[in-house]
Structure 1
Amino acid sequence: MGEAQHFDIVIVGGGAVGATLALELERLAYRVAVIEHADPSFASTDPERVIALNYGSRLHLERLGLWQGVEAQGVGNIRHIIVTEPGNRGRVDLDASDGRNEFPGMNELGYVVEMGVLLRPLYEKLRRSSVTLFSPASLRKFETFSDRVEIEVASGDEKQRITASLMVAADGTHSQIRRMAGIGLFGWDYNRFGLVASVSCEKGHRDTAHECFRGSGPLAFLPLADGRFSIVWAATPAEATQLLAMNDDLFITALQKAAGERTMDEIGAITGVSKRATYPLELSIAKQFTAQRIALVGNAAHTIHPVAGQGMNLGFRDVADMVTMLEGELAHKDPGQPIILQGYAEKRRADVAAVATFTESMSHTFGSEIPGAKFLRGLALEKMAFAPTLQGLLLRQASGVGQIKQGVS
């Protein structure tokens, strides 16, 4: 295989989080390589594979000069969020204008973006950069030492040895690196599936996202660039199976019933639906975010419930905190030294715990069938409009401005 090529940092996984981290580290003058198992696809899918980005993530992408390329392809703007529980009283309304005292330029709380729309400008910039991209390629094995990581990369029949001072796992929920490093998980399977589809409605979305909390799980309507909604519907396995098997008319009837009268009054009758797909919902958080010469980012470190659309935003904050730890002179001498990795892990632990606690509490609160719980939820939703402090906390969480203020993003 010849002499090993050395990099300061090797990132395994070239999705949005891994590619963003690579560009950030190149900006800091590190020698960086990315190992990605497949060439990225920028094509739209049916149903669309979308992600929710908050205002804080937009600022991060703007600093890298990427947001303009994302926005030019079309994004769904979230200027308002309406939270309801079908069949119960009360609702919560969040509006981007409520956050302008802290961030005068904030016209949206967040954005709904197709994955390909985000990846395209990332890879255009990545291919113009000094980052070495091994793709399509796979990591066959690695071994860590006190001063380096030795990695075997395979591309087709070719094998190559490379070394790095630090290896970053950005290879997703079922991370190969995390498993090979012996890092365990805590969490659980929700015994729920997320059903995704895109729907058109009589009244369009008017830049508004709707979160409808139901006993079996939340149903979210997220505004797309073309006026339709992308839906994420948490359902039991039996429900998900039935919903997939329905014809379009039956599915639309079931969806309108699940959304509730107040949401349907806002969006109008559903007039069309795309193909449907499902994926299992789970909570998994790595028991440690680092090991010898290894750091975890994105879903390799944490996969959370989609109830608040925080997954990708959390991954971008992993990137921001890793960059903070790696921008100093000490890190440039050796980016994989223990003090750097411990600092990164400490920074991420509190933020991940806070977001996981928030999403879990929302899920459990609205899923509770304890006698009287529904009445109390309705009362809470009704009174929240008159509790600016609590509503402000929700707005800061939804937009990501709370994390910006803490210097996280």
Structure 2
Amino acid sequence: MIEAQTFAQAAARQRAYAFSLTSAAIFKGLGLWPQVAPQITHFRRVSLSDGDYPRRVVFTPQDAGEEAVYYGAEHGVLMAALQAAVEASETIHCWSPAQVQSVEYGPDQAQLQIQADDQLWCLSTPLVVAADGMRSQLRQQAGIGSIGWTYWQSCITAILKPAQSHDNTAYERFWPSGPFAILPLPGNRCQIVWTAPHQEAQALIALPREQFMAALQRRYGDQMGALTLVSQPLLFPVRLRQSHRYGLPRLALVGDAAHCCHPVGGQGLNMGIRDAAALAEVLLAAQAAGEDWGSLPVLRRYDRWRRRENWLILGFTDLLNRSFFQPLLAPGVPTAVGTPGPTACDHATPRRPAVDGRSLRPSASSSRAEYPRLTTSLADNVNQTQSIPVQRSLLATMENLPKNPIQTVL
């Protein structure tokens, strides 16, 4: 494992996520849920509405027979659980902080040079998994192209503390300028995800603190009383991007290195977690069959599985965002949740949207699709006495690590 930052730096991001039921099931399968569960919020209600329209559509756990609609999980909590698992493993060597200097993909192995501790190291592995973000250097160096665009919007995130209880309720309001989401967190805190056109968002983030909070209170509403800012507001551009492929011989892309989507619906992190679970399952199956798990035929299975579902989610989030952007519509045409949208929904039984993260695995024997096996727990598929080989298969991507650097950089 090669991490550009120290563990403390990687875990320090002041951000939270809407954590799907499938992502939670994957963490349970990895044995991480006991550490995470006490530190997250169960969404007891999710309220969706058009910005100025009085009616709302409300989802509850009872609609789907689950314990929560979603979860509110902070970045630091998830990272702490993952980092503890990495540090406890005897089969994972972590280079942190470190930078990949070069990669050469051979017929049987990939050769990497990394810089760590002011030294240059050479590593060999049958498979490199690129999880290096939206601007993935590994993807670009491999010549994997992508399709997509930058939206006319930017996104502001911040963590707040309302005067009144959030009551474990998440809100998403769809305004013509962009969606505005409120995610409940432990300690009666909330994260806001405020999407607005670039100039408006940049003007908001540049306001003095009191003026920013006044603008936020107007957009947020008074359903929870006065607001106190807990974290510094952050601004980032909103993009949609899909790589032309998720794998080449000796290289697999996961998470933002493979795709990114509009923040509406909170799908980004969940898509990446499902990528990792799907890739792990494909690699385990290949290993069990005696296949070369860095070969193109193996990685094509992962590509076919994940790109199809991710295309659906990318398209759904894009359509949802554009549906409320009134300048794109003909004059007089109502927005998607304008009249009569919520009225129709008010008379329907709420159903959890398919986009909530119920990742599907194509069956080799039929058209039936299944969830990744990690969603049912490793214990259901692998005997507990086999945990070390399983960890090695899932997580240890580097083999034959040299004991000495081949060259001193300084």
* Structures share fold, TM-score greater than 0.5: yes
What's the counterpart of residue 371 of structure 2?
Answer: 407
**In the TM superposition, what is the alpha-carbon distance from 1:120 to its structure 2 partner?**
1.0
Q: Alignment RMSD, CA only?
A: 2.2
**Contact map agreement 2:11 2:80 (CA 8 A) in 1:** no
What's the counterpart of residue 287 of structure 1?
Answer: 244
Asked if 1:82 is matched to 2:47, the reply is: yes
Which letter maps to 2:148?
G
What's the counterpart of residue 346 of structure 1?
Answer: 304
- Between the aligned partners of 1:155 and 1:212, the Cα distance in structure 2 is 46
Equivalences for residues 230-241 of structure 1 within 5 A: 230-241=191-202
- Between the aligned partners of 2:282 and 2:11, the Cα distance in structure 1 is 36
Residue segments in structure 2 that go unaligned for 5+ positions in a row: 362-368, 376-410
Greater shift in the superposed pair: 284-293 or 307-316 = 284-293
**Contact map agreement 1:42 1:115 (CA 8 A) in 2:** no
SS across alignment from 1:275: coil
1:247 counterpart (186, 208, 215): 208
**In the TM superposition, what is the alpha-carbon distance from 1:128 to its structure 2 partner?**
1.5
**In the TM superposition, what is the alpha-carbon distance from 1:192 to its structure 2 partner?**
1.6
2:131 counterpart (170, 186, 210): 170
Instruction: Provide the aligned length of Structure 1 versus Structure 2.
Output: 361
SS across alignment from 1:51: strand
- Between the aligned partners of 2:273 and 2:289, the Cα distance in structure 1 is 20
**In the TM superposition, what is the alpha-carbon distance from 1:70 to its structure 2 partner?**
1.5
What is the TM-score when the length of structure 1 is the normalising length? 0.83
**In the TM superposition, what is the alpha-carbon distance from 1:178 to its structure 2 partner?**
0.2
What's the counterpart of residue 30 of structure 2?
Answer: 64
2:58 counterpart (83, 90, 93): 93
Which letter maps to 1:62?
K
Q: Structure 2 vs 1, CA of residues 333 and 211 (structure 1 numbering), >3 Å: closer, same or farther?
A: same
1:40 counterpart (1, 4, 7): 7
Which letter maps to 1:125?
A
What is the TM-score when the length of structure 2 is the normalising length? 0.82
**Contact map agreement 2:182 2:191 (CA 8 A) in 1:** yes
- Between the aligned partners of 1:293 and 1:45, the Cα distance in structure 2 is 32
1:305 counterpart (262, 280, 292): 262
SS across alignment from 2:77: helix
SS across alignment from 1:313: helix
2:277 counterpart (320, 326, 331): 320
1:148 counterpart (104, 109, 122): 109
- Between the aligned partners of 1:368 and 1:251, the Cα distance in structure 2 is 25
1:366 counterpart (307, 315, 324): 324
Greater shift in the superposed pair: 340-349 or 113-122 = 113-122
- Between the aligned partners of 2:199 and 2:334, the Cα distance in structure 1 is 24
Q: Structure 2 vs 1, CA of residues 402 and 44 (structure 1 numbering), >3 Å: closer, same or farther?
A: closer
Which letter maps to 1:92?
V
What's the counterpart of residue 20 of structure 2?
Answer: 54
**Contact map agreement 1:194 1:280 (CA 8 A) in 2:** yes
What's the counterpart of residue 392 of structure 1?
Answer: 351
What's the counterpart of residue 211 of structure 1?
Answer: 172
Q: Structure 2 vs 1, CA of residues 313 and 188 (structure 1 numbering), >3 Å: closer, same or farther?
A: same
SS across alignment from 1:183: coil
What's the counterpart of residue 9 of structure 1?
Answer: none
- Between the aligned partners of 1:341 and 1:43, the Cα distance in structure 2 is 28
**In the TM superposition, what is the alpha-carbon distance from 1:331 to its structure 2 partner?**
5.7
**Contact map agreement 1:78 1:208 (CA 8 A) in 2:** yes
SS across alignment from 1:235: strand
What's the counterpart of residue 78 of structure 2?
Answer: 118
- Between the aligned partners of 2:28 and 2:94, the Cα distance in structure 1 is 23
Q: Structure 2 vs 1, CA of residues 403 and 345 (structure 1 numbering), >3 Å: closer, same or farther?
A: closer
- Between the aligned partners of 2:360 and 2:210, the Cα distance in structure 1 is 42
Q: Structure 2 vs 1, CA of residues 274 and 128 (structure 1 numbering), >3 Å: closer, same or farther?
A: closer
**In the TM superposition, what is the alpha-carbon distance from 1:272 to its structure 2 partner?**
4.9
- Give a deviation string over 1:137-173, Cα, whole Å, max 9, x none: 1111011122221111211331121111111101111
Residue segments in structure 1 that go unaligned for 5+ positions in a row: 1-33, 101-105
Which letter maps to 1:278?
L
- Between the aligned partners of 2:37 and 2:10, the Cα distance in structure 1 is 16
